[in-house]
């Protein structure tokens, strides 16, 4: 178990234990899905304190990662998706363009489908509108927190979803979108 929290899958149930939060349990359709989600959550937590660096994917305080590579590493390194590398990509695209390139990464390269008629669950992805388009992603860790790499905080951190939502959205911003990865493994 990490110092912060840990996800464990037994059968179709994912249990998330934390030093500071009540234990959560989440039931999924299959044990395979529960195990994949727990593995992705645990992998995300291992990236804590990794500094933000555009297009990087080296874990640890001497490394660096951005939100796209954090999501990629979490799903690929746990075997949930077959290996791929989305780079190169322009890290400041969202500042100058309207084309939804980050959403294409999420849907085409991660193979995620948008969640429309149900609530997002642990192990799903939250995508935020930042700049001129949707351009920032985070992994849902528990009912109140996400793990993400964000340059304003300078680190890959776990943060309350509501705070992340407020930090990324200004007046007239679009709502957060949620996605579920269709796992290969």
Question: pLDDT tens digits, residue range 158-172?
Answer: 776 666 665 665 545
State the virtual CA torsion across 102, 157, 141, 18 in degrees, nearest 10: 180
| pLDDT tens digits, one per residue of 139-157 | 999 988 899 998 766 567 7
Name the residue with higher pLDDT: 114 or 152: 114
110: containing domain:
5-181
The share of the chain scoring above pLDDT 90, in percent, equals 67
Tell whether the model's pLDDT for residue 117 goes beyond 80.
yes
Tell whether the model's pLDDT for residue 25 goes beyond 90.
yes
Q: Which two tokens stand for residue 103?
A: 């959403």
| pLDDT tens digits, one per residue of 60-85 | 999 999 999 999 999 999 999 999 99
Rounded to 5 degrees, what angle do the CA atoms 79, 16, 122 make? 60
Residues β-bridged to residue 157? 148
Task: Give just the sign of the alpha carbon dihedral 140, 70, 133, 100.
Answer: negative
| pLDDT tens digits, one per residue of 37-51 | 999 999 999 998 899
The confidence score (pLDDT) of residue 100 equals 94
The confidence score (pLDDT) of residue 1 equals 40
Provide CB contacts within 8 A for 101, sequence distance 6+: 89, 90, 93, 133, 135
Mean pLDDT of 114-124: 95
- Domain count across the chain: 1
CATH of the domain at 46: 3.90.1720.10
- State pTM to two decimals: 0.90
């Amino acid at each position: 178990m990490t110092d912060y929290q840990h996800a464990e899958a037994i059968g179709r149930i994912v249990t998330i234990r934390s030093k500071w939060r009540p234990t959560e349990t989440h039931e999924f359709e299959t044990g395979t899905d529960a195990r994949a989600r727990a593995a992705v959550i645990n992998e995300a937590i291992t990236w804590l304190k990794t500094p933000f660096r555009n297009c990087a994917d080296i874990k640890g305080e001497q490394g660096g990662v951005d939100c796209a590579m954090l999501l990629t590493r979490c799903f690929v390194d746990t075997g949930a998706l077959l290996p791929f590398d989305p780079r190169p990509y322009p890290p400041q695209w969202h500042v100058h363009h309207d084309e939804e390139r980050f959403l294409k990464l999420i849907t085409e390269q991660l193979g995620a489908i948008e969640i429309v008629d149900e609530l997002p669950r642990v192990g799903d992805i939250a995508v935020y509108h930042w700049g001129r388009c949707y351009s920032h992603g985070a992994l849902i860790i528990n009912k109140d927190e996400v793990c993400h790499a964000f340059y304003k905080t300078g680190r890959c951190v776990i943060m309350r979803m509501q705070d992340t939502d407020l930090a990324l959205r200004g007046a007239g911003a679009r709502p957060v979108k949620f996605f579920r990865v269709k796992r290969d493994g």
